[in-house]
Structure 1
C-alpha cells in the first residue's frame, strides 16, 4: 500500500492539488463531503488511518451517543474536479465508512454494495451496469415559477434544442473526470436531456452516478452564473405536469470468468437460462424494489400509465412499454434493461437491490414467463389481467409496505439500513399526506 500511496501523492502534486474532498453519501444518496488542504505528509496518514467525523449528523447513520465514525478514502476513486479553478485545484476521493474499532459500518450504503460484490466475486461473478440518468434544465418565468429551459422534444437539434451547449460542456468535463460518455441527446420532455456513460463494474458505476449528478449541477450553475441567468438542473422524476418524467434505466449483466452469463448462442432468443431467471427475480421483487429505486413521493407522479412510464411487470425482447426490455445486442453485449429506477435513488442501494433480486431469481429458477411483445399501454385492464401482467406500486406508501413484506429485499439492505430507510420513508409519506396543494384548493375550495 505504501508504494501505491506514494504514487498517488506524486500524482496529486503533479495535478497541483490544493484541496482534497472526502466524499460519501447518506442513506438517501445525498452527497456529503469534508474538504481538507492538501499536504503530502497528512495524506499518508489519511490513507492509512482515515479521519473521524460526527456520524450522528448524517441521515441514516448513528445516534448522538455513538456518533464517532471513520472516513477512509478509496485510493482508486481519485478525480480532479474539472469545474474548480485551475489555481486552486480540487480533487475528490469516494470514502468507505468504518467504526472507530476499524470495522465496516453497516449503515454505509457504498460499503453494502462493495461487500455484496465481494461475495459474488468469490464465485467468479462480476456485476456490470450501465445507467441512463435523465434530467431537466429548468429556467424560471417572469413570476419566478420553474419552467423547462426549451420546448424541444426527442432528438431535436438547434435552435429548438437549447441544451446543446450544456451537453457539450458537460460531456467534456465528464471526460476529464474519467467518464466514457457514449451518447448525449435531448429527451422527450421539454428541457429534458440524457447523457449515457459506459457500462462498467457496479461499484465504479455507482460512484460515477454520484459524481455525474454533482458535476452536472456544478457545471450548469457555473454556466448560468456566467450568463447571469437563473437556470439550473433537476433530477426530480416529475417536475412538470403533462410531460414525460425523468428515469434512470439500468442496463445490467453478470459475467463469469470473462464470459457473459446472460448469453446463449444456442437458444432461440440468444438468452441463457440465467438471464431468464434473473429477469424472473427482478419481476418477482419489483414491488419491494420500487421503494428503493423510486424513493420519493414525486417518483410516483412519473410511474403512472402513459408518458412512456414502465409500470407494467412484464418483459419484452424489444418492447419499451414493459418494465424490462432486452436490447438487441447478443454475445458479450447481452444485457437486461430494468426501466423503473429514477435518478433520485441512492445508486448503491438500487444496484444492490437489483443484483440480489436477480440472483434470487437464478437461485430459485423463477420463470418470468413468455415475453410481451405488444404495446401494453393499449391493453385494457381486463386484457392485462388475462395476460397476468401486474403493475408496480402507485405510491410511496404502497412501495415501502411491499418492501417490509419482502424478506429477500430486507436482507439485501441489512438490518441497519432497512430500519433507517423505512423510518425515513414513513416520515416522508406522513409529511406529504398532510400537505394541501394548489390543485386541491382550486378543485374543492368553492364546492
Structure 2
C-alpha cells in the first residue's frame, strides 16, 4: 500500500485518529496517536518523534530523541476504539536518519535482506501457532511479605463443586482433557469465533480455531503464513485482538507459557520454509519426509544452535516451567516426521511441494517475534552454509515417542537448557551465527543478555510460596 493509498483510506473511512506503533526489545507494543488532520504525506517522510529513554532496553536520557518511521504496508483499522482509528506499525530511526540497531523490526528486515544476499533463496515464510488461555479472573501479588497468584475459569476442572456458580456444574474440562471437545464442555466457541471475526476484519487470513489440551480455557487460533517481518507484524496484531476481545467479554487472555501447574502449557510452534521466487526449496519427493538436502541442513542449523537460540525463542523464566518432559513439551533436540515429542517436527499430512516445511515446536509467546524469527532464520542459514547434517550430528530422525523411552536411551538425547540463565550462557558462548551477518550486533546481544539476566535474578531472589510448604517447619 502506498502512502497515498493510506491517506485515501483515512478519508474514505472517516478516520479521526492515526495510531503510530513500535515494538520494544521485549516484544511489547507502544503507541502515539495523532489526529488524522495532522497526518499527511510528510508524516511518512519525517516520522513521529518519541522519547527512547523511557523504553526499557533502548537509550539513555542523554540521547533519548528517536523517530518512528511509519510503514504504510502495515496499516489496519482498529476494531476496538470508539473513535475511528487507523493503526500503523513503524520502524525506529535515530535523529540523523540511521536505522536503530536495537529496533526489533529493523533486525527482522535485515534478516530478510541477508537471506537474499546469500543466494540461497529470495524469501523465508513463517507461520506461528500461538496458544493462549482465556481466564475469567486473575489475581497476583509479589511484595516484601506476600507472594501469590490465583487464576480461575468457569470451565476449569477444579470448579466441579463451586457453590458460587449455582446450577449444574457438570461438563467441566478435565486436566489434559480439553483437546477439541464440543459444547457444552467447550464453553468458549463464541468468544473464539468473535476473535476470528475481528482478526479477519483487521486483514488477517485465519485458517481455524479450537480448544486446546489444557483445562481452564486453553485456546488456539491459526492464521496464514507470510514473510518474516509481516508475520511478526501479524502476531503483534493477533495478540492485540485476543487481549482486547477477552476484555470486552469480561475475561482476560494470557500468552504465558505456563500459567497452570500440572497441565499443558502454551507454546508457539513455528512453521518455516524458504522459497526462491515461486520455487519451494524444502521439498524433495521420496527423501525422508520429502525434505530436500537444503532443508535438512536448515534443520541442522536450528538444532546445533538451539541452546543459544532458545534464549531468544523462550526468553522468560516461565518458559522453562513449560519445557519439562511429560506435557507435550518439545524438550528433545531431535527431528522427526509427525512426532510431537521432537523439537522439530516435519508435517507429513496433506502436504504439497509448496506446503513442505519444518515445525520448530520449542518457542513460546514470551518471545519477541521479530527477534525470534530472525534468529531462527539465521541459525538455519548457518546450517545451510556449513552443510550441517542433523543425522551425522546425532539429531535423528527419531520416530519414537521419546517420553516413553527407557531412561538409558533418553540420556543419549540432547535436551534444551533447563533454565533461562543456562540459555543465556549458551547465547553468550554461541552468538556468531547472529552477529557475523550484521543482522544482530554484539552490543545488542550484550544488552539483551543483561536485561534477561536481571529478569532471572529478580525471580530467583524472591521467596516462593511453595517454599513455605517445603521449609516452614524446618
Residue 137 (structure 2) pairs with residue 140 (structure 1): yes
Answer with 166-175 or 41-50: which moved more.
Answer: 41-50
Structure 1 residues not aligned, in runs of 5+: 225-230
Task: Give the deviation of 1:268 after TM superposition.
Answer: 4.8
Contact 2:139–2:151 (8 Å) recurs in 1: no
Task: Give the deviation of 1:322 after TM superposition.
Answer: 0.4
Answer with 155-164 or 258-267: which moved more.
Answer: 258-267
* Residue in 2 that maps onto 1:331: 353
The TM-score, its normalising length taken from structure 2, stands at 0.89
Mapped partners of 2:10, 2:104: distance in 1: 27
Mapped partners of 2:150, 2:298: distance in 1: 44
* Residue in 2 that maps onto 1:228: none
* Residue in 1 that maps onto 2:289: 269
Answer with 411-420 or 158-167: which moved more.
Answer: 411-420
Counterpart selection for 1:15 from 10, 13, 16: 13
Task: Give the deviation of 1:348 after TM superposition.
Answer: 0.3
Counterpart selection for 2:432 from 408, 431, 442: 408
* Residue in 1 that maps onto 2:243: 217
Mapped partners of 1:295, 1:428: distance in 2: 10
Contact 2:128–2:268 (8 Å) recurs in 1: yes
Contact 1:289–1:409 (8 Å) recurs in 2: no
Contact 1:80–1:89 (8 Å) recurs in 2: yes
SS in 1 for 2:463: coil
Whose helix proportion is higher, 1 or 2? 1
* Residue in 2 that maps onto 1:282: 302
Runs of 4+ with deviation above 4 angstroms: 141-144
* Residue in 2 that maps onto 1:227: none
* Residue in 2 that maps onto 1:113: 108
* Residue in 2 that maps onto 1:154: 179
* Residue in 1 that maps onto 2:387: 365
Contact 1:135–1:194 (8 Å) recurs in 2: yes
SS in 2 for 1:43: coil
Q: Within 5 A, what are the aligned runs for 1:28-43?
A: 28-39=26-37, 42-43=39-40
SS in 1 for 2:241: helix
Counterpart selection for 2:62 from 46, 65, 68: 65
Mapped partners of 2:380, 2:444: distance in 1: 20
Note closer, same or farther for the CA distance 1:350–1:396 as it changes in structure 2 (3 Å cut): same
Counterpart selection for 1:392 from 411, 416, 426: 416
Note closer, same or farther for the CA distance 1:409–1:61 as it changes in structure 2 (3 Å cut): farther
Task: Give the deviation of 1:121 after TM superposition.
Answer: 2.7
SS in 1 for 2:136: strand
Mapped partners of 1:416, 1:138: distance in 2: 39
Answer with 419-428 or 335-344: which moved more.
Answer: 419-428
SS in 1 for 2:45: helix
Note closer, same or farther for the CA distance 1:80–1:407 as it changes in structure 2 (3 Å cut): same
Contact 1:181–1:198 (8 Å) recurs in 2: yes
SS in 2 for 1:240: coil
Contact 1:107–1:416 (8 Å) recurs in 2: no
Task: Give the deviation of 1:195 after TM superposition.
Answer: 0.2
* Residue in 1 that maps onto 2:366: 344
* Residue in 2 that maps onto 1:313: 333
SS in 1 for 2:248: helix
Mapped partners of 1:436, 1:346: distance in 2: 28
Q: Deviations over 1:357-398 (max 9, x none)?
A: 00111011111113100000011332123xx41000111111
Contact 2:347–2:358 (8 Å) recurs in 1: yes
Q: Deviations over 1:395-416 (max 9, x none)?
A: 1111111110003355153223
Task: Give the deviation of 1:142 after TM superposition.
Answer: 11
Task: Give the deviation of 1:158 after TM superposition.
Answer: 1.0
Contact 2:101–2:440 (8 Å) recurs in 1: no
Contact 2:3–2:44 (8 Å) recurs in 1: yes
Task: Give the deviation of 1:53 after TM superposition.
Answer: 1.1
* Residue in 1 that maps onto 2:160: none
Mapped partners of 2:155, 2:13: distance in 1: 38
Q: Deviations over 1:133-185 (max 9, x none)?
A: 00001123999931234233000111111111111000000000111101100
Mapped partners of 1:100, 1:219: distance in 2: 37
The TM-score, its normalising length taken from structure 1, stands at 0.94
Structure 2 residues not aligned, in runs of 5+: 141-148, 157-172
Task: Give the deviation of 1:234 after TM superposition.
Answer: 0.6
Mapped partners of 1:70, 1:140: distance in 2: 38
Mapped partners of 1:429, 1:438: distance in 2: 17
Contact 1:117–1:127 (8 Å) recurs in 2: yes
Task: Give the deviation of 1:83 after TM superposition.
Answer: 2.1
Mapped partners of 1:339, 1:159: distance in 2: 30
Q: Deviations over 1:78-132 (max 9, x none)?
A: 10011223xx111111100011111101010100110110222343420000000
Contact 2:131–2:267 (8 Å) recurs in 1: yes
RMSD: 1.7
Answer with 132-141 or 290-299: which moved more.
Answer: 132-141
Residue 126 (structure 2) pairs with residue 102 (structure 1): no
Contact 2:337–2:399 (8 Å) recurs in 1: yes
Mapped partners of 2:331, 2:440: distance in 1: 23
Task: Give the deviation of 1:241 after TM superposition.
Answer: 0.4
SS in 1 for 2:347: coil
SS in 1 for 2:125: strand
SS in 2 for 1:21: strand
Contact 1:21–1:34 (8 Å) recurs in 2: yes
SS in 1 for 2:86: strand
Task: Give the deviation of 1:29 after TM superposition.
Answer: 0.3
Note closer, same or farther for the CA distance 1:150–1:108 as it changes in structure 2 (3 Å cut): same
